[in-house]
Amino acid sequence: MRGILSEPDPAISRGACVLLLSPGIKGRVGPHRLYLKIAARLIPLGFHVLRFDYSGLGDSEGYVDERMLVDVYNTIHAGRYVDDTICAMDWMQQEVGVSRFIGSGLCGGSISALLAAKADSRIECLLGIGLPTVLEGGPENWAKALTHHQAAALRGRYVRKLLDPKAWTRLVSGRTNYEALWKVVKKALPVPAAPKPAPGPSKPADTDRTNPHFASAFWSMLSTGRPMLLIFSGADRLRYQFAENFESHHAARLEPFQHLYEVHVIEKANHVLSSAAWVDELGDVAGRWLSSRYPAN
């Protein structure tokens, strides 16, 4: 594997390395050179920053055998690059003498960091940027994890399609995702008041719609006292998937851990944080959070 290690001035080094793991199949630079911009904010604060290409991607050797992109994404959600991440930490410890790590990255980089943290306690905290919480494996998974926010956006599109003959042809030909369509309609209907439950044992909660690998790793981080800062973009579906499909579902269980994880939303930002102002906000929030946990020497 090949990558770039950026080192701070030894006089200000905090002895910790931020692993900016590649987002999905993209390389170590990130969209619109996002990772270089993040590194430029963290290095003057005293953090090492390591960016590398996963096996089979970018400048690294290896192969990607899957023919469908969605299949690659699903394997990432299941921990495809955990071993690569552990290998990078081993190299840092042996060659640079750094053994304290902050797992980070955009989207697929965040889930890889979280899953690696479950496998290796050298990752002491998580700086998640657009952390995905549900599987992307085809329309069946997409429909199951559909949030109220997504349904509201889709309703407008479906209403406009009522006047489009091609849309009606698609509907009757069987090419429409009927499960998703029904969920959009169902979420638009008023919800009747739930009857007061009778005394007795409580019923089990609804099935968790999140990626089981994500949920297991998330609870592992919290149970071992490792903090997380989750930064989401306000215009990104990933924020609503986390809020509706995980936070709301596990509100009672999360309550004792409120001091260990924080959520910051960059309003109106898109998934890749393409505006300089959004990158600045990310850098400011992340820099303050990391500096408070890794005091300067």
State both tokens at 41. Answer: 């904010």
Q: Are 47 and 16 in contact (CB under 8 A)?
A: yes
Containing structural domain, residue 12: 3-137+209-293
Number of folded domains in the chain?
Answer: 2
Amino acid at 169: T
Q: Give dist(CA 246, CA 208) in Å, integer.
A: 7
Distances (CA, A) of 269 to 22, 239, 273, 295: 20, 11, 6, 30
Strands 17-21 and 101-106: parallel
Please indicate, yes or no, whether residues 242 and 98 belong to a single structural domain of this protein: yes
Please indicate, yes or no, whether residues 72 and 11 belong to a single structural domain of this protein: yes
- How many of the other CB atoms lie within 10 Å of CB of 97? 8
Q: What is the pTM of this model?
A: 0.78
Residue 205: the pLDDT is 46
The tens place of each residue's pLDDT in the chain, 297 residues long, gives 999 999 999 999 999 999 999 998 888 999 999 999 999 999 999 999 999 999 998 899 988 888 888 888 889 999 999 999 999 999 999 999 999 999 999 999 999 999 999 999 999 999 999 999 988 655 545 444 445 554 555 456 655 666 667 665 665 665 555 555 545 555 555 555 545 444 444 444 455 678 999 999 999 999 999 999 999 999 999 999 999 989 988 999 999 999 999 999 999 999 999 999 999 999 999 999 999 999 887
Q: DSSP states of 15-27 as a string?
A: S-EEEEE--TT--
Residue 26 sits in a domain whose CATH number is: 3.40.50.1820
Q: Is the dihedral of CA 25, 19, 80, 234 positive or negative?
A: negative
CA atoms within 13 A on the CB side of 8: 23
Q: Are 264 and 231 in contact (CB under 8 A)?
A: yes
Residue 19, strand partner residues: 50, 103
Please indicate, yes or no, whether residues 226 and 153 belong to a single structural domain of this protein: no
Residue 171: the pLDDT is 56
State both tokens at 291. Answer: 């500096």
In a domain, 156, yes or no: yes
In a domain, 54, yes or no: yes
Residue 67: the pLDDT is 85
Please indicate, yes or no, whether residues 132 and 103 belong to a single structural domain of this protein: yes
CA atoms within 13 A on the CB side of 158: 17
